């Protein structure tokens, strides 16, 4: 006898407009039991969590927030395919929860009307009933439920009120047949759908046949079923007939559905006419004011960045000293050799260098989540849209690019608010050009040492400060120019719409803000962690091997005399100094003998036009995991010791004394320092950023593209800087 | 009859129709800008663009170029 298949786990889909508290509800229902991934071939995040319903596990699929189920791109098709059970590898959900914002009922019911057409058991989660009440909106929920023909549960998801009622309502909905639902479309439209359905047979569900007729973007006519029928001509003819019948596509859908909405709310939803001036209006009088709004925006951003840097500073020091101690401990516990070096220099050194930026990343995520939750994010996009449209982007790209001043990782992850794929990709690709904080150590070191102490206006403005400002502007200008070029070449297309809701302001929910901060922060650590680790190990291996052991002995022999002398003096201090000289010398020779140095020497002809010697070349190659690693590598190359930062005196000395192998002239002159800084301003030496680009675009080729174009830009920029600076500045002045 | 981008701040108008069949027009319709709906001009962003309007009890922002497609008449 064949065994009965085990009962499949039931699935519930969660859908709703943006800003309705859908994610809050999702996390309230499933807690931390979530799987996050990507749907293949698109950039839509796949979020599935598990909850218990009548003591059986149920999967909840969180669909991306949307105003309408009218797919015009592969990304938007995901939700429709999933709800219709057409998505490969997924089963059709057993029920849908449609989250509805009670304070914005009419527009939310438009999506409800589409969801009901999918013929699935549906429960409406009427969220933010508290906000609606404070706006003076009263809804007769029982009446509304009868008219809609689906159960409605009142919710305050951020306070976890109404969740039990929602669960029991879901249980009932899933076990009872769905009632007869009438279509809101006029008869003339239904006839055309019937006609088209007849020709397509059962290959397409009715909802999609309607969509084929309504979709003016041409996306759905690429469906194989429609193409096979040479269906598009018939679609054109049908639209012609509809226009003549007074139901023109695409307006017919909105008119029909909003008419249905009007009938639903008629007489059962009321609005206080007295309370016309809401809190949102009062706040917006300042925050979106022509002058005050901009001042408030600048102040707010200043506070955000000041807090990000001042709060993360101590934590950053803590992490870096923690990794330092961890490394020290491993050095003592493990015997000298490749394993010790792998763990201390490769894993701890490499990964630690990146993790140092975690506090900044988390604080930025915190502020982004806070601004989103309060409702300010949409206002920031509104204020900045005009500015951004000059380079072909929209206001929605502003916050992601601004965040990139601290770190490109949260910036790139914040691009998810940009619905238009082209705008989103362009923003992702130019965000790493904005000057992030990992570049600062490099800038600080180079300006401190090689930019002269000239000052202007009686000491108010120094040349060093001007150089820094110039580098920031270089980053901005490069990002803007590349955005403009990309929008006119690879990502050319119609200007995407900026039709966007400005949600009501509300008090932030601490639970939600913290949840989002950790959710995104860990997503970064999880996804980028492996890549950062493997790249760090690769770079370590290149700088460690072939590791000729005889080098150690040779150096010790050379220093035997000095050691003996130091020992003879009896001064512990002097002995220690000589010993550290010996170990630095050993480290330097090993590095000079390593594959990394061979790569550097091979690259010398290529980096020579930038004014660099092979040592700088190797250090730049080694900085692939993270830009600031270059300082540590320079420290080793110039045998100043491994633990160098931009303010180490011994590294300063060594850099000043560095000489060309052939001519004996100083390596570091002002043109060389400028060329290094310009290179780091424009290059993509950051494994974390590249990993996040891959994750957000769901394709390696965009990460590769970013690396190639930025490296090219960096090379050309550094080349021009060095050549022009050498012409203008007398040599040897550095 | 005029277009939405020319409506003075504080005025309420009635939507007659939306011009065009592309993504922008569809989006405007989906957001509730259907014929006979009443819209109030709330204001504009610091550089004069985009605009902020109120309809169906909520706030919507749209660019001037998009508002040009919305044909309106006074009540």
- Asked if B57 lies within 8 A of A501 by C-beta distance, the reply is no
Distance CA B40, CA B4 (A): 9
Considering all CA atoms of chain A, what is the largest pairwise distance in Å, rounded to the nearest integer?
Answer: 108
Out of A255, A291, A499, the one facing B31 most closely (by C-beta) is: A499
Out of A271, A497, A502, the one facing B59 most closely (by C-beta) is: A502
Task: Count Cα atoms within 13 angstroms, Cβ side, for A452.
Answer: 10
Distance CA A621, CA A238 (A): 61
b/e burial code for range A414-430 (CB count within 10 A of at least 16 → b): bbebbbbbbbbbbbbbb
CATH code, domain carrying B9: 2.30.30.90
- Per the CB < 8 A criterion, the answer to whether A311 and A365 are in contact is no
Query: Hey, what are A572's tokens?
Result: 């512990």
Which of A243, A260, A497 to mutate to test binding with chain B, by most B CBs within 10 Å of its CB? Answer: A497
Query: Hey, what are A548's tokens?
Result: 């000729």
**Complex prediction ipTM:** 0.96
Query: Hey, what are A681's tokens?
Result: 């301003």
- Asked if B61 lies within 8 A of A498 by C-beta distance, the reply is yes
- Asked if A497 lies within 8 A of B24 by C-beta distance, the reply is yes
- Asked if B57 lies within 8 A of A499 by C-beta distance, the reply is no
Distance CA A428, CA A437 (A): 18
- Asked if A106 lies within 8 A of B32 by C-beta distance, the reply is yes
Residue of A nearest to B24 (CA): A497
Number of domains making up chain B: 1
> Residue A734's pLDDT is what?
39
For chain A of 734 residues, list the mean pLDDT of each consecutive stretch of 10. 62 93 90 79 85 90 93 91 91 95 94 95 93 86 93 90 94 85 91 90 89 90 79 83 92 96 92 66 84 88 82 85 87 84 80 78 87 88 90 90 88 88 94 89 85 79 84 92 94 85 86 85 77 80 82 82 79 80 80 85 90 88 82 70 66 81 84 94 92 90 96 96 88 45
Distance CA A416, CA A436 (A): 20
- Per the CB < 8 A criterion, the answer to whether A365 and A516 are in contact is yes
For the segment B21-67, what is each residue's pLDDT rounded down to a tens digit?
Answer: 888 999 999 999 999 999 999 999 988 889 999 999 899 999 999 99
b/e burial code for range A297-329 (CB count within 10 A of at least 16 → b): beeebeebbeebeeebeeebeebeeebeeebee
- Asked if B34 lies within 8 A of A249 by C-beta distance, the reply is no
Query: Hey, what are B68's tokens?
Result: 């040009």
> Residue A258's pLDDT is what?
97
Phi, psi of A34 (to 5 degrees): -125, 150
Tell me how close the Cα of A495 comes to any Cα of chain B, in angstroms. Answer: 9
- Asked if A258 lies within 8 A of B45 by C-beta distance, the reply is no
Distance CA A638, CA A584 (A): 9
For the segment A328-361, what is each residue's pLDDT rounded down to a tens digit?
Answer: 898 888 887 888 888 887 788 777 777 777 888 8
Tell me how close the Cα of A253 comes to any Cα of chain B, in angstroms. Answer: 8
> In chain B, what residues touch A104 (CB-CB under 8 Å)?
56-58
Out of B37, B59, B66, the one facing A497 most closely (by C-beta) is: B66
Distance CA A259, CA A389 (A): 35
> Residue A301's pLDDT is what?
82
> Residue A534's pLDDT is what?
81
Phi, psi of A582 (to 5 degrees): -60, -50
Tell me how close the Cα of A263 comes to any Cα of chain B, in angstroms. Answer: 14
Q: Does B23 contact chain A (CB < 8 Å)?
A: yes
Query: Hey, what are A652's tokens?
Result: 């300063």
Q: Does B8 contact chain A (CB < 8 Å)?
A: no
Pick from A371, A448, A489: nearest CA to A670: A448
Distance CA A394, CA A495 (A): 9
Phi, psi of A289 (to 5 degrees): -70, 150
Tell me how close the Cα of A69 comes to any Cα of chain B, in angstroms. Answer: 10
Residue of B nearest to A69 (CA): B30
Residue B52's domain comprises: 2-74
Name B46's Cβ contacts closer than 8 Å, sequence gap at least 6: A289, A290, A291, A293, A294, A383, A386
For the segment A160-183, what is each residue's pLDDT rounded down to a tens digit?
Answer: 899 999 999 999 998 888 877 889
Q: Does B49 contact chain A (CB < 8 Å)?
A: yes
Distance CA A504, CA A506 (A): 6
Note the helical H segments in A436-546: 440-450, 463-488, 510-544
Quote the pTM value.
Answer: 0.83
Query: Hey, what are A443's tokens?
Result: 């800038």
What's the CA dihedral at A531, A537, A543, A545 to 10 degrees? -140
Residue of B nearest to A501 (CA): B60
Which of B4, B10, B20, B26 to mutate to test binding with chain A, by most A CBs within 10 Å of its CB? Answer: B26
Q: Does B71 contact chain A (CB < 8 Å)?
A: no
Q: Does B47 contact chain A (CB < 8 Å)?
A: yes
Distance CA A24, CA A49 (A): 13
> Residue A665's pLDDT is what?
85
Distance CA A24, CA A30 (A): 10
Out of B18, B22, B62, the one facing A251 most closely (by C-beta) is: B18
Residue of A nearest to B56 (CA): A106
Axis crossing angle, helix A572-592 with helix A550-558, rounded to the nearest 10: 140
> In chain A, what residues touch B49 (CB-CB under 8 Å)?
385-386, 389
- Asked if A290 lies within 8 A of B44 by C-beta distance, the reply is yes
Pick from A91, A124, A86: nearest CA to A105: A124
> In chain A, what residues touch B71 (CB-CB under 8 Å)?
none
């Amino acid at each position: 006898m064949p065994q009965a298949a085990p009962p499949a786990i039931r699935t519930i889909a969660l859908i709703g407009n943006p800003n309705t508290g859908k994610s809050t509800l999702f996390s309230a229902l499933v807690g931390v039991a979530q799987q996050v991934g990507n749907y293949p071939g698109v950039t839509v995040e796949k979020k599935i969590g598990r909850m218990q319903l009548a003591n059986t596990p149920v999967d909840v699929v969180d669909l991306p927030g949307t105003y309408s189920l009218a797919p015009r791109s592969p990304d938007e098709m995901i939700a429709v395919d999933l709800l219709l059970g057409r998505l490969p590898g997924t089963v059709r959900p057993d029920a849908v929860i449609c989250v509805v914002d009670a304070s914005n009922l009419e527009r939310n019911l438009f999506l409800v009307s589409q969801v009901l057409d999918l013929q699935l058991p549906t429960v409406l989660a009427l969220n933010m009933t508290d906000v609606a009440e404070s706006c003076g909106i009263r809804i007769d929920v029982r009446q509304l439920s009868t008219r809609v023909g689906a159960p409605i549960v009142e919710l305050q998801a951020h306070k976890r009120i109404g969740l039990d009622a929602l669960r029991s309502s879901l249980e009932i909905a899933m076990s009872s047949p769905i009632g007869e639902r009438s279509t809101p479309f006029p008869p003339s439209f239904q006839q055309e759908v019937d006609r088209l359905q007849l020709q397509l047979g059962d290959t397409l569900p009715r909802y999609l046949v309607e969509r084929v007729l309504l979709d003016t973007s041409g996306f759905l006519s690429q469906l194989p079923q429609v193409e096979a029928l040479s269906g598009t001509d018939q679609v054109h003819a049908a639209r012609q007939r509809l226009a003549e019948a007074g139901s023109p596509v695409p307006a017919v859908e909105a008119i029909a559905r909003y008419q249905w909405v009007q009938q639903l709310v008629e007489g059962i939803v009321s609005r206080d006419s007295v309370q016309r001036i809401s809190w949102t209006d009062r706040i917006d009088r300042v925050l979106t004011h022509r002058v005050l709004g901009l001042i408030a925006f600048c102040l707010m951003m200043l506070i955000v960045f000041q807090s990000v840097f001042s709060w993360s500073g101590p934590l950053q020091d803590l992490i870096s000293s923690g990794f330092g101690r961890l490394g020290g401990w491993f050095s003592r516990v493990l015997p000298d050799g490749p394993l010790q070096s792998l763990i201390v220099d490769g894993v701890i050194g490499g990964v630690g260098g990146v993790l140092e930026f975690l506090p900044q990343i988390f604080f930025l995520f915190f502020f982004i989540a806070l601004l989103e939750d309060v409702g300010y994010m949409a206002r920031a996009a509104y204020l900045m849209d005009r500015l951004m449209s000059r380079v072909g982007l929209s206001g929605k790209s502003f916050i992601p690019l601004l965040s990139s001043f601290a770190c490109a990782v949260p910036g790139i992850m914040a691009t998810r608010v940009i619905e238009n794929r082209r705008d989103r990709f362009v923003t992702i690709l130019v965000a790493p050009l904005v000057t992030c904080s990992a570049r600062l150590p490099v800038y600080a070191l180079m300006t401190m040492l090689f930019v002269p102490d000239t000052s202007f206006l009686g000491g108010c403005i120094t040349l060093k400060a001007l150089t820094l400002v110039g580098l920031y502007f270089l980053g901005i200008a490069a990002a803007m120019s590349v955005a403009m070029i990309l929008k006119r070449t690879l990502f050319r297309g119609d200007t995407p719409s900026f039709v966007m809701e400005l949600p009501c302001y509300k008090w932030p929910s601490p639970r939600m803000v913290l949840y989002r901060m950790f959710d995104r922060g860990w997503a970064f650590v999880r996804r980028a962690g492996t890549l950062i680790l493997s790249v760090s190990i690769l770079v370590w291996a290149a700088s460690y091997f072939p590791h000729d052991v005889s080098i150690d002995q040779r150096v010790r022999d050379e220093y035997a005399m000095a050691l003996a002398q130091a020992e003879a003096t009896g001064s512990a201090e002097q002995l220690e100094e000589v010993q550290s000289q010996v170990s630095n010398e050993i480290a330097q020779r090993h590095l000079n003998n390593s594959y990394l140095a061979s790569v550097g020497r091979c690259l010398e002809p290529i980096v020579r036009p930038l004014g660099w010697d092979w040592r700088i070349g190797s250090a730049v190659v080694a900085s692939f995991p993270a830009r600031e690693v270059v300082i540590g590598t320079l420290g080793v190359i110039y045998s100043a010791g491994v633990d160098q930062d931009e303010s180490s005196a011994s590294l300063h000395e060594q850099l000043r004394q560095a000489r060309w192998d052939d001519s004996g002239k100083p390596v570091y002159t002002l043109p060389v320092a400028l060329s290094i800084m310009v290179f780091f301003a424009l290059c993509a030496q950051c494994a974390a950023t590249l990993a996040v680009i891959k994750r957000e675009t769901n394709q390696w080729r965009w990460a590769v593209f970013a690396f190639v174009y930025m490296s090219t830009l960096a090379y050309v920029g550094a080349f021009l800087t060095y050549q022009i600076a050498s012409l203008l500045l007398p040599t040897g002045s550095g | 009859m005029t277009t939405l981008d020319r409506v003075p701040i504080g005025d309420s108008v009635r939507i007659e129709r939306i011009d065009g069949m592309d993504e922008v027009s569809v989006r405007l319709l989906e957001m509730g800008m259907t014929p006979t709906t009443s819209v109030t001009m709330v204001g504009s962003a610091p550089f004069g663009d985009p605009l902020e309007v109120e309809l169906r009890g909520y706030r919507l922002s749209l660019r001037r170029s998009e508002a040009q497609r919305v044909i309106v008449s006074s009540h």
